[in-house]
Structure 1
Amino acid sequence: MASEQGMSGIDVKAITSDLNGKLPLWIDKVYQFDSRTLAIRLNGENKARNQLIVEAGRRAHLVRSLPEPPKNPPQFAMLLRKYISGGKVLAIRQHGLERILIFDIGKGNLVYHLIIELFDEGNIILADESNLIVKPLRHHRFRDREVVPGVAYTLGTTDPTASLENIAAVLAADDRDIVRCLAIGCMLGGMYAEYICTKAGYEKTHPAASADPARIFSAIQDLFLRVVQSPTPVIARKHCEPIDLWDGNGVTAYPTFSEALEAFYPLTKAEKKSSARPKIPKEDRIRHHQEAAIKKFDNTIRNNEEIVGAIYENYQFITSLITSLDTASRQLSWQEIEKHLKNAKSADAKMIVAFHPGEAAVEVDIGKRVKIYVHEGLEQNAGRYHDLIKKFKKKKAGALVAMKTVQVKKTVRKRDFIPMKKLWYHRFRWFITSDGVVVLGGRDASQNEELVKKYMAGGDLFVHADVHGASVVIVKGKTERMDEVAQFAASYSGAWRSGHASADIYSALPTQVSKTPESGEFVSRGSFIVRGERTYYKNVPLLVGIGLMLEPNAAMIGGPPSAIKGRTAAYIELQPGQFEPNDVAKKALRILKSKIPEDDVKSLKGILNTEGVAGFVPPGGSDIVGHHEG
């Protein structure tokens, strides 16, 4: 189920199915609105136009209209236009149940893969036919994964839900209860895991290892079938779901999952500025979709009522058809029956317009196209349509109740901010350079050891202040802003605690760093021996910036002022001084709050706090020497 944080694997499965239903498609233009939001115009047959919006790490779905594109397209959008505009979409697929959507695009004699990652911070990656990365939206270099040009893009492990054997292996190896095994081990999430338990007839606390894999696999396949073939999109509470698991109680129904997601997710910054999409209050948008859903329900109810009427009006023909085909099917194959009836010249035979051998059914034209199941009587056939009428009347009633409960809220200035997702490296000291490279630093001797032994890779750079007692700093990739890296290393070193204004810094390659001492030497925990030539940066000034970032996600960030000032709504600057870290954090917090609208401060209560600021204050005394609005 989709949340404010982003879409789940089940949601991606639903959108993949929806998009596949619109094939064939051709790539028209690609637009980029900000650092994580793109849109693609997809042209279909008969001049059909579809508009896909993609927010890396969060969502990907069709929308009715796109924001006004920037006059000067960013480089990544221009690169995608160069490679894939005019290309034909050959396939749209999901990798297992992961939050990864892949477009296979043919252009000329070449095939490209446009990979949309909707997990963690997300990414959008263009790869060639061999899966070598041409260009990603964001460059990443981690210990076990690189997302940079020229490197092969690798996908994850086998899908645990793909087969009965896979499910059996997952269950047998899990010592948790069945609901947690399904939610985490099978990537289904809590709500769908509970649904599977109910369908398979297990209590949530039943041990996973003793569950019957066949029952679990059957329930999962039933869920996937509903998502792909019979979606019933709804917004329920604080989630958006491709199928209604609430029986219409307290939910708002939508004709398509994309329409539900469009109503559910708040407007992006670019959409708010766009004149192409009017600023309609959320309550009005929900009511509009509710009215559209009710209209669709009314049409479905009316159509099925007309079908029931047509069945009874043609009572003799339907009864005769059922009797004759039921008898024939016990002696002949459906292929033989179809061949015989297509060659028949009787008026009754010509009323049969389609055959469905797998369902033992035919479709007849009696003023309405009606599917008749030949092993069931007339009343049973009519009953199928009566059941549909009841189902949609119930949905309509639920939608009418939901419309009455929509509260018209007063207009307030409060904005919805999306908190930054917690990433693995946030427990270290960290910042991102002006050119987008992650830089990490150890908070203590233990983290220094961990960074070098576990996270330092061949393409990284080892950086250290030339003083006793300093953070080990690892640059995760190549950067043109070594001035920022050096300032970071200098500021989180013993030089700050000693009250110095500057410090000397050096860098070395990973191959030069060792824990092996010479004879008679001792290397303490958190310390390392660096052999060979080093690159020095002399008299680097000690200065730290701490600020509040609001877009694309809300978070406290820190680092050299030059690295954060373009990303923050407000920031302060620190130099070595006389005030204790906690006192500095409290004072800095008051300053930052004073520069943010009061309503926004309330919305940022979980982010804009003393703890969030204190995490970036260097150990030792500090003075606030400046404060600025971004």
Structure 2
Amino acid sequence: PASPPAVLFFRYRAECILEFMATLQGMSGVDLRALVAEAAVRLPLWVGKIYQFDAKTLGIRLNGEDRAKYQLLVETGRRAHFTAEFPVPPKNPPSFAMLLRKHLEGGKVLGIRQFGIERTVCIDVGKRDTTYRLIFELFDEGNAVLCDEGYTIVKPLWHHRFKTREVVPGAVYTFDGTDCSTLSPDGFGAMLAGSDRDIVRTLAVGCMLGGAYAEEVCRMADVDKSAAAADVDAAAIRASFDRLMADVAGSREPVITGSGCWPVVLGGEVVRERFATFSEALDAFYPKTAGEKEKAAAEKPRLSQDEVIRRRQAEAIKGFEKKIETNGRVVEVLYENYAPVAGIIATLDAASKNRSWQEIEQILKGNRENAAAKMIRAVHPAEAAVEVDLAGERVKVYVHETIEQNIGRYYDQIKKFKKKKAGALAAMERTVPEKPRRKQNLALQKKRWYHRFRWFTTTDGVLVIGGRDASQNEDLVKKYMEGKDLFVHADVHGGSVVIVKGTTVHLDEVAQFAASYSNAWKAGHFTADVYAARPDQVSKTPESGEYVARGAFIVRGERQYFRNVPLGVAIGLAMEPEVAVIGGPSGAVAARTGVRVELRPGQFEPNDTARKVVRALREKLPEDEWKGLKNALNTEAVAAFVPPGGSDIAEP
């Protein structure tokens, strides 16, 4: 992959780097190389939803081939790995997460790579005609940086200005990807020869391996780790170094030991647990945060609106009392220092008539030996005032007013805040009766197989289903009609095939259902004839020379007729045993709902009718109750029961 244009990037490399590995403090560059190799084999990937869980932790849902789903968790400054479960995201996504969603969601991951062996990983995402670079820094305080294709920063998680680089919008993201594996054999040997340290420290610091991996290279090369770097066999060290990097990238054996989490088993480490992938090991190694957040949220008491108001009033009263006390103290010190303050006022008032305040300020600064000048701590030319230090209390004094007028100013402030305090106390004494909060443990209706059809349940509990179109009519007869069912249809051209799944004494409800969901409603009729037949009377086989259209059937033999069936549909809100919008004949719906609306053939289109029904049902419910039912009572749920054609809401 192309490198960014600049390569100036400061890295702090102290001796503590000797302990780099996947510890609770964070991952090393070698660990990150293993993670990047693991992620690369999962390509191609596509970016799904992006989350920000706290100030430093982000998550990306990635979609792979064959419906594979992956969750990449990045805690900047610490770790990056795939996880089985994300922490609980905040209800309102932070602005940085929304920015990443806007630019990256739906984009294709073109590559996942590491800068050298630094603790920095870059995800290249192609979206439309643009390529974005999402860079995660796992070193120091950490950062997440969104760049364009040329590495110009679009937005970082945190803005930083360092001596050698800037991480701010519009700047070019710069880095130096240190990696000893890119050195030629001669260059590697020269690096060792030029070191004045022992071999283990040279590898740990110079090659960014950290102490444990540097010791492993020495062990694999059969070289004493305390030997001077300039004296060892450079070829043997390089071969061991390359073999370790190859194992980390391609032959991982992820484990957790007493000292940390490792992508490969190092000599001398006692293995506690083995894992199939390095991400699984890291996921198990690092403590979860979701449970802690949920626990903290559960422990935080939920206050009523009245309690919130009272707390704010109490805080305001404390603020007023503090200001009353402060102004009272100012009045006291003014009286205690009456003579010197009066002298300062008289002197500065006279001086301001002949000199500018800038000149006065310069004179005061150059005359610090004078006791009065020494008392003046600040000058406010715009207000013709100075701040005077009176026994440790800084008091603003207006020089064109007498000392009594200045004291009067502070008395006015005391009166003002006393009045505000009295008002807040009076407000607190007024008790506002709080509306009883209903705790609703509502079980929303689960999706069932017949919900894709028209359906209702008769008053005596029998399921009735009908087709929404010709295709569903075919399915009902071919797949769902059984020997003991009843076939029902309006005696008009075009309408739902209705199947009664059992025996009911409320065939009048079934007939009304079939009549209402037929073309009789579309035509504006208020009654229709309906017939019923046994399943064995229904056939798709036409007589010779005839044709049966899709969704239509031939019914042979004697039928049971229901004449002049009134058209009408009720839509209501059922609360038991599950919360759901239901619809169908008025009698069946009335038996299961507390609030409902009756429809008759009319003038309003189905979508308009659905919106009107939602409004009408909400008006029949208390506000606090319907607000808790938004997931159940909505236009989409209601529209499923509105008949085809125009409708009107019948007056009660």
Give the TM-score band, short-chain normalised. Answer: 0.3 to 0.5
Q: Structure 1 length as normaliser, TM-score?
A: 0.44
Q: Structure 2 length as normaliser, TM-score?
A: 0.42
Structure with larger Rg: 2
